[in-house]
Homo-oligomer: A and B are copies of this chain.
Amino acid sequence: MITQEDLAKKLGLTRTTVARALNGSKDIKAETKKRILDLAEKEGYQKNYLGSYLAGKGKKNIYALIVKSLNEEYAIQIKKGLKDIQKELEDFGFKIKILETDIKNIDEQIMSLKNILTKNIDGLIIAPLDKEKIKKILTPYLDKIKIVTIGETIENENLFIESGYYKSGRVAGNILSTLIKKNKKILIFDGGDDRISSKKYLEGFLSQIEFSLLKYKEPIFIENMLENKNKLKEYIDEDIDGIYLNRYAPEIIEYLKSENIINLKIVTNGFNKKIEKMLNNKDIIATVSEDFYEQGYYAGKNLFEILYKPNLKKPQNYTTKINILFKESLVKLGDLK
């Protein structure tokens, strides 16, 4: 490993000057800087970030602005991931301040962001609700603050963690298709747009479903679903062998059971405690979801690397893993023996 000291010796300079060149100080003659940088390049110098950290003791100011959705599991898992990576890196003084706002309250997120920006901040993790507004607000800070976005890109961030809801929908479509009896149909339920996942799930699902499987040309949409569950029954008949859901699954399934409509093959997108229970009950055959824990963990980990490792070709994009869960997926290996 080649050090700043090594470079200094070869050029007849001191470490201090070399460090200055490497850290982009302007208190240095352009020519000296060039000589140093050229040699560093030639010798394949890589800054040791351990030394940097220890010397700098650089406590970075990092915020994560996450979103509480109808599916509580979403925020819980992301937070868990953030906290785990924080713990792993605590020896670096790596600490993330987590702020949560409500998914339905776009302005709350904007306000929260503006508030954070009044402080001295080095890194930001955000799941933007209103992409355009957030982008506009952040633009002036882009060279000061390292940014990781989750779910939605603002196009100038250092890393965008993509959720792949569309793909999850496709996979769900793939699975449900294989389950349906010949000449039977499926019912597709449109849960509306939650500004995060629902719409994209549905689009992906539809892209996978063959025309012949459709009972209705359009997905079923029921206004104020939770109050109007009884309307669902109108759409169900002998033809139908399966249902796709991505919102209100617990409520809808509960309702169907109460009406004694059973034995339908149900595949969902998303995961939370209720869906887990329904899988266990065999009310649902399979669900397809993103690994939100991993999103939090990966967001934190990468922000750390971007912040602490100066010589890093930064990752541009990352797509979350997609998990397919059947009932048996939930069983812990330890419980089997």
Contacts and interface: CB of A to CB of B under 8 A. Distances in A.
Interface of A: 1, 46, 48-51, 53-54, 91-93, 162, 164, 166-167, 170-171, 173-175, 178-179, 181, 208, 265, 285-286, 309, 319, 322-329, 331-334, 336
Contact of A178 (B91, B173, B326): B326
Instruction: Please report whether the interface of chain A is mostly helix, strand, loop or mixed according to DSSP.
Output: helix
A336 B1 CA distance: 43
B166 A333 contact: yes
B166 A336 contact: yes
Given A162-B333, A179-B178, A333-B162, A328 B171 contact: yes
Given A178-B179, A319-B333, A333-B164, A328 B50 contact: no
Nearest to A46: B91
Contacts of A331: 167, 170
Contact of A208 (B46, B53, B309, B328): B328
Contacts of A322: 329
Contacts of A170: 328, 331, 336
Q: Give the 7 A-B residue pairs with the shortest CB-CB distance, closest first.
A: A174-B328, A324-B324, A171-B328, A170-B328, A174-B326, A319-B333, A164-B333
A59 to B, nearest CB: 11
Nearest to A1: B93
A250 B141 CA distance: 55
Given A162-B333, A319-B333, A91 B48 contact: yes
A56 to B, nearest CB: 12
Contacts of A286: 178
Contacts of A166: 333, 336
20 contacts: A46-B91, A49-B91, A50-B54, A50-B91, A54-B54, A164-B333, A166-B333, A166-B336, A167-B328, A167-B331, A167-B333, A171-B326, A174-B326, A174-B327, A178-B265, A178-B326, A319-B334, A322-B329, A324-B325, A324-B326
Nearest to A265: B178
A166 B334 CA distance: 11
Nearest to A328: B174
Contacts of A333: 162, 164, 166-167, 319
B164 A328 contact: no
Given A171-B329, A178-B326, 10 more contacts: A1-B93, A50-B92, A51-B54, A91-B309, A167-B336, A170-B331, A171-B326, A171-B328, A323-B323, A324-B329
